[in-house]
Structure 1
Amino acid sequence: MSASKEHPRITAVRTFLVAPDPKKSEEEKPGHWLYYQEIANPMSKYPKYKDNRDSWGVDVLKHFCVEIEASDGTRGFAIGHGGFVGCFLTEEHFKRFLIDADPRDTNLIWDQMYRGSQHYGRRGITMMIVSVIDLALWDLLGKIRGEPVYKMIGGQTKDYLTAYCTGPNPDVAREQGFWGGKVPLPYSPSEPDSLQKNYDVLTAHRKKAGPGFPIMVDCYMSLNIQYAIKLISKCADLHIEWWEEVLSPDDTGGYVRLKQAFPQVRWATGEHEYTRYGYRHLIEGRLLDVLQPDVMWCGGLTELMRIAVHAAAYDIDIVPHGNSHYTVHFCMSQPNSPLIEYVAYSPDGRSVGPVHGDFFLKEPLPTDGIVKPSEFDKPGFGLELSPHVKLLPARDLLKPYHDIFGAWGDRD
């Protein structure tokens, strides 16, 4: 019997920051509904920060990119949150678990990254960085095998993806063929007459969208139990499909009380939770009806699949947060993922767009509220960088640090 050909191994891991486009530095944000419309949020209680999403630094870390190269020259690529911190931790710490590894060993690599970082972060920014590395690994593996990622993680479970739209105009979402529309709650409990004002805004949305069209409300971690009970009671006649992120992600006990008070209401949360351990209590306590992990935050695709299997045992739907190009592969492969979210990334909130703008040549977008597999049926995640994108190698940016402290092995 002849010896089988050795499978490619990882030979290099590189990180990059995205250079700002001077032509687009400020012209896109003014007037953008997501940044400048009043939206209840965790900082609403502080007048200095409540009116502008940018003011409290929610996007301060920006994006960073990871490229993983195999011994046969194949390269996997992913983008996510973490900025310079992401570059630093990947280059100086996580890289050690990847060099010389077999890219098929996704579970082993993930477990080593997780266990090897517990002394400085099991959630938040650390897990976001792990997520980007994991996604780059899956992109590499798909390209080596010549298969789209969703075919490697369970295959096709539906003919197309059914999408809902997050934005300020659910009536427009209905006209565009989306399954439903999710709107932000505008006022927090700390603002005068907010209960009535929130009801009036949601009532206007219901009237414009018409009966029978699902409307969801994103509360963005801004409420407390007492206020939530009053608001849900007042809005009973509006037939809200689900209430999302009503409480702080740390208040799992609060969700117990809400579920007891309104067993008939559909509750959704999970956007700001991390790893299967963070979701365990939400799932096993049956505290919610829709679980919303973000594949770019929760631990990547490897960990999201574990979370999905756990949720499936309790008949809980997985509707991931955000419309990333990575999410379409997950949703296509999972029977308990009936919907995919798309955000109206346009200044007026009347049309959806790629989550990363023109960073990639083509991201899968819905037509008449659906996304077909043909939109992402290419090896890996099926995306190509735009030739106009400029990436800044992190190794150059880290040189002053290396000059002073030295660097972990220069192996690539």
Structure 2
Amino acid sequence: MKITKVETIHVDEFWQMCWIRIHTDSGEIGLGETWYLPKAVSAVVHEIYGPTLIGRDPMDREGIWDELFKLTGIFTYSGAELRALSAIDIALWDVVGQALDQPIYNLLGGKCRDKIRVYNTIGSYGEWQDNEFEQKDPVGFLQSLIDEGISTVKCYYMAAYAAESQGNFVSSKQIREGLEPLAKQRKALGDQIEIAHDGGGQWALAPAIRITQAMDEYDILWQEEMIHPINAKAHLKLAEETRTPICAAERLMTRYEFREYIENGSAEIVMPDLIWTGGISETKKIATLADTYQTSIAPHDWTGPVNVFACAHVSMNAPNVMIQETNRAYYRGWYDKFIEPNIIIKDGYLEAPEGPGLGTRLKDDVFNRSDIHVESTTESHTWEAVGFIDPGQKVSHFFSPKVPENQPKNTH
């Protein structure tokens, strides 16, 4: 089995979403996904990663991941490079699962569970205007989740107040105003639903401490990204100042960035975003690292439909998964436009995907859309970082191993 084509696909309607499909000579088509700047991701894929993949065996997922990570590591490993690698990794797992007629969770070592508890992050699309619902009727919004069997929600009570001071100041009045919906929800519903809070990485440490301490009385499930995750010691200080567990963080990339937060205890709940942090392969390693510190993970999702499927496989396999993020406005509002089948959430739980590989695919009519952009790579070549052809090069060397054609080789 060899890779014959690598595609990137994006549509104008959802201009941050990017899919990658990997085709093989035996007919498998693996699907991956990432989110943000699809044109930048496509450039990385077709200039660097795609030509490197052509002719390779998709079974060699570990070696391919390491090679691509190090290939762009000469100048960076994050940004569009890592988002592209994340989507490629998902697609490779999908290919192998199809080839072996097994769901990905079986390839990871089998299931620890058949379903995983979900929490609902507030979102909006079409008829599903949950942001408006929450603002107009915060108690009714949570009750609507409870009625569906969803036992956990994530809200953004204080995020709107950060812009005024660039996150450097928050007043007691603002805290009181921001937490009024939370107070109403707790008074009306008690402990019928767990509530997590996301600060969007908007606050400096001092106001973040003030906010989290003010929220402690409401028995919050976790505080997520109250500060930007760029300083593990600052996160540890925040954790020490509140009784609510600190969750970190979808903005940490790969196990190398998560390591310090896990080791020093500042990430009391670990939240990798699979389509940003390195795909299924890397998320599994992050989960294992967290498990050695008796720390749970809660995979992040606030993006496209393929991510939820990929997360579902990790969530079924990794023993230390706590809960899985979902967004009902998305999976009910627009996921069906693009994939078949959709995820199944029943009584507040995401069920294990069925079928080989991911267990979903892009619908055929996606490729008939007038706003679709598809780019393909079918030829193999070796990417070189130097960025120019040296007219005087006669020998192979580390920076430019391929001697330009029509130049005599130095035999000395």
- Give 2:221's match in structure 1, choosing from 241, 249, 255: 241
Rounded to whole Å, the distance in 2 between the matches of 1:133 and 1:208 is 46
Give the one of 109, 117, 129 matched to 1:154.
Answer: 109
What SS does the aligned partner of 1:90 have? Answer: helix
Find the counterpart in structure 2 of residue 279 from structure 1.
Answer: 258
Cα distance in structure 2, aligned partners of 1:355 and 1:135: 21
**CA drift at 1:268:** 0.5
Q: Deviations over 1:73-132 (max 9, x none)?
A: 222122322411111110110123312222111111001111000234312222111101
- Deviation at 1:240? 0.8
User: Unaligned stretches of 5+ in structure 1?
Assistant: 1-7, 21-58, 347-351, 397-404, 407-412
Of 23, 27, 46, which residue of structure 2 is paired with 1:69? Answer: 23
Q: Which amino acid aligns with 1:83?
A: P
Q: Which of 211, 218, 222 is the aligned partner of 2:191?
A: 211
Partner of 1:344: 328
Q: TM-score, normalised by structure 1?
A: 0.78
Residue 73 (structure 2) aligns with: 118
- CA gap 1:80/1:283 in 2 versus in 1, 3 angstroms: same
For the pair shown, which has the larger CA radius of gyration, 1 or 2?
2
Could you tell me which residue of structure 2 aligns to residue 328 of structure 1?
Answer: 312
The aligned amino acid for 2:364 is P
Residue-by-residue CA offset, 1:273-330 (whole Å, 9 max, x unaligned): 1111110111111112211111111111111111111000001111000162211111
Output one character per residue of 1:223-249: Cα deviation in whole Å (capped at 9) or x when no partner: 221112212222222111111111012
Matched, 1:134 2:89: yes
Partner Cα distance (1:297, 1:63) in 2:
12
- Match for residue 290 of structure 2? 311
Does 83-92 or 310-319 show the bigger shift?
Answer: 83-92
- Mapping of 1:158-307 within 5 angstroms? 158-167=113-122, 168=134, 169-186=141-158, 187-189=160-162, 191=164, 193-262=173-242, 264-307=243-286
From the superposition, tell whether residues 128 and 79 of structure 1 become closer, same or farther in structure 2 (CA, over 3 Å). Answer: same
SS at match of 2:363: coil
Q: What runs of 5+ residues in structure 2 fail to find an aligned partner?
A: 123-133, 135-140, 165-170, 303-307, 378-386, 389-412
Contact 1:180 1:214 in 2 (8 A): yes
| CA contact 1:68–1:140 (8 Å) conserved in 2 | yes
**C-alpha distance in 2 between matches for 1:223 and 1:339:** 25
Q: Partner of 2:53 in structure 1?
A: 98
What is the CA–CA distance in structure 1 between the aligned matches of 2:299 and 2:359, rounded to whole Å?
Answer: 20
CA change 1:230–1:155 in 2 (3 A) is same
Letter in 2 for 1:386: K
CA distance in 1, matches of 2:341, 2:189: 30
Q: 1:209 to 1:113 in 2, by over 3 A?
A: farther
1:52 maps to what in 2? none
- Structure 2 SS opposite 1:296: helix
- TM-superposed CA distance for 1:190, in Å, is 5.1
User: Is 2:377 the counterpart of 1:384?
Assistant: no
Report the TM-score when normalising by structure 2: 0.78
Which residue matches 1:394? Answer: 375
Distance 2:51 2:4 in 1: 11
Change in 2 beyond 3 A, CA 1:387/1:85: same
Q: Does 1:17 align with 2:10?
A: yes
Q: 2 CA distance for matches of 1:246 and 1:256? A: 12
Secondary structure (helix, strand or coil) at the match of 1:310 reads helix
| Whole-angstrom CA distance in 1 between matches of 2:365 and 2:195 | 38
Pick the structure with more helix per residue.
Answer: 2
Count of residues paired in the alignment: 344
Partner of 1:35: none
**Superposition RMSD in Å:** 2.2
Distance (Å, rounded) in 2 between the aligned partners of 1:303 and 1:286: 20
1:43 aligned partner: none
Q: How far apart in 1 are the matches of 2:27 and 2:210? A: 59
